[in-house]
Amino acid sequence: MAIFDSGGTLLVVTTPFVELTSELNVHSNLRGEDVPLAWLTAARSGKSIVLDSELLHLMFSAVADCWMVEARRASALRQLSGREFEVATRYAQGLSHKEIARHLAIAPNTVRVHLQRVFAKVGVTSKQGLREWVIRTNETALQV
């Protein structure tokens, strides 16, 4: 995990985050002053990023006037787009379509479409099945 302010200045970074991003050659010096501009742009627009030939998935969350970025190895997530995984994770956590839509700045119907695709790709038929898939995925993916 790393936290950066609205100007892109890195405030906090965990060692596992640095090790993972360095291992995948995503950014050579995350202990420096600024995060890459693409990260800041993605955070501001509410998007996630899949980097380095889909090896790393970065998810951004607003925290007060800062941004938190979480990194996961993408191998367990390749079935879904970054947005589909965000929607699936939030839905599995119990958020409603409207809450997910509001958080991601998309329409509730778009959430429904993403969930239909997720259910088909993952092979589940219920919210509980999706919750179990998300838990399994998070246990096998490296989350830092």
**Residues 100 and 115 both lie in one domain:** yes
Q: How many residues does the chain have?
A: 144
**Residues 12 and 53 both lie in one domain:** yes
Provide CB contacts within 8 A for 126, sequence distance 6+: none
Provide CB contacts within 8 A for 82, sequence distance 6+: 47, 48, 49, 50, 57, 59
The reported pTM is 0.51
Mark which of 44, 73, 102 sits at the end of a domain: 73
Residue 52 is part of which domain span? 2-73
CA 107 remoteness from chain centre:
19
How would residue 55 be classed by pLDDT, with cut points 50, 70 and 90?
A: low
Predicted confidence (pLDDT) at residue 28 exceeds the cutoff of 80: no
100: domain CATH number is 1.10.10.10
Digit-coded pLDDT (tens) for 60-74? 888 888 989 888 765
